[in-house]
Amino acid sequence: MSFFELIKKRHSTRSFQKKPVDKVSLDKILTAAESAPSAGNLNAYEITVVKDEGQKKSLSEAALGQTSVALASIVLVFSAVAGKSTCKYAKRGELYSIQDATIACSYAQLAAADLNLGSVWVGAFNEAEVSVAAKLKPGSRPIALLPIGHP
């Protein structure tokens, strides 16, 4: 599949089969995300992999009850870690960390599509509740959730 076919193929999937995403596919998705460009190559973001059913349910509740989050096999939580960038770029680093996280999430979404997996970018959520549900470290701000599974 060419790159242009891939971007045409990708669309939001909000309902998933009860079938796990295998480790090889997950590793490919994470490798793709980590290949994304980042400001100053500082990778000022973190990806938290959530597979636990209870944690996914809590994330779904934090995302205003969106069922896609609870139904997915895995949910990737992309967080901006401003401190990794502000140490070099001062205030501007806050913006860079958000950009770093969003670009990585885009790469992950395209990688999932290439593997015939479905995903949806979820941006509507309560940040504090997501931080608790995903057990994010202090200084890690959730930017996007990416539920992934078999459509």
Under rule CB under 6 A, residue 92 binds ligand FMN? no
The least CB distance from residue 49 to ligand FMN, in Å, is 19
Report d(CA 109, CA 121) in Å as an integer: 8
Contact 77, 50 (CB under 8 A): yes
Taking each helix axis from N to C end, the angle separating 92-114 and 23-34, rounded to the nearest 10 degrees, works out to 140
**Amino acid identity for residue 126 in this structure:** N
In the complex with ligand FMN, which residue's Cβ is closer, 14 or 83? 14
In the complex with ligand FMN, which residue's Cβ is closer, 14 or 28? 14
In the complex with ligand FMN, which residue's Cβ is closer, 27 or 67? 67
Under rule CB under 6 A, residue 28 binds ligand FMN? no
Interface mask toward ligand FMN for 52-91; x: CB under 6 A: --------------x-x-----------------------
Under rule CB under 6 A, residue 124 binds ligand FMN? yes
Among 12, 15, 31, 35, binds ligand FMN (CB under 6 A): 12
Q: Which has the closest alpha carbon to 125: 107, 149, 139, 143? A: 143
Under rule CB under 6 A, residue 122 binds ligand FMN? yes
The least CB distance from residue 62 to ligand FMN, in Å, is 11
In the complex with ligand FMN, which residue's Cβ is closer, 40 or 151? 151
3-state secondary structure 31-86: HHHHCCCCHHHCCCEEEEEECCHHHHHHHHHHCCCCHHHHHCCEEEEEEECCHHHH
**Amino acid identity for residue 80 in this structure:** A
Q: Which has the closest alpha carbon to 48: 38, 40, 58? A: 58
- Binding residues for ligand FMN, rule: CB under 6 A, are 11-12, 14, 66, 68, 120-124
